[in-house]
Amino acid sequence: MPSRTLSTADERTDALVAAAVSVFARTGFHATPVAAVAAEAGISTAYAFKLFESKIDLFIAAVDNCYERIVRTLRAAVRDDVSGTRALDDMGRAYAALIADRSLLMLQVHALAAASEPKIRAAVRRGTGNIVDMARAITGAPDSEIREFMAVGQLCHLLTAVDAFALDDDWAHAMTEGIEHSAPHA
């Protein structure tokens, strides 16, 4: 009989956080029970609470994972021979492709919606700060350009969340003109 390898706590934690990104993205922080996330990860609710003390801790782990993925993606998008505005443009294209992942986009939307919770607000601040710090370090762009980069990123959130790129309305054309976009996927 072949031996069976049990998954480690780290592997289960990773699976639970990946499931949390997906499930919280669909139903948000307040409407999602830990049991739904645990079921998606294929583990018991009791084990989920062994890995994360509370639902808020699990949600924050998902938010942190989301921001870490953004930072990795943006950093990887910048070539060594590019800086300033060109580097920010490369990062913007990478971000447009990244938020086509509806889970990643909607988790950020739900994190903002739940930012009245101090721990969640702190996680969003930390994630945003990490993006800004990385963009400054990698691009060498002035703060005014970093601010514009972040502002356009937030506009992209809104336009992607409401699928404005698919609309034939004047307001949608005005807001999407010149903004790169990747078709959303689940």
- Domain residue limits at 65: 9-176
Using an 8 Å Cβ cutoff, are 128 and 152 in contact?
A: no
Is residue 169, in this structure, part of any structural domain at all?
A: yes
Digits of tens for pLDDT over the chain (186 positions)?
454 444 688 889 999 999 999 999 999 999 999 999 999 999 999 999 999 999 999 999 999 999 999 999 999 999 888 888 899 999 999 988 888 888 999 999 999 999 999 999 999 999 999 999 999 999 999 999 999 999 988 888 888 888 888 899 999 899 988 877 766 555
CATH number at residue 156: 1.10.357.10
The span from the first CA to the last CA of the chain, in angstroms, equals 39
Specify the number of domains making up the chain. 1
Cα–Cα nearest to 127, from 77, 75, 64 = 64
Is residue 182, in this structure, part of any structural domain at all?
A: no
Is residue 1, in this structure, part of any structural domain at all?
A: no
Is residue 20, in this structure, part of any structural domain at all?
A: yes
What's the pTM?
Answer: 0.89
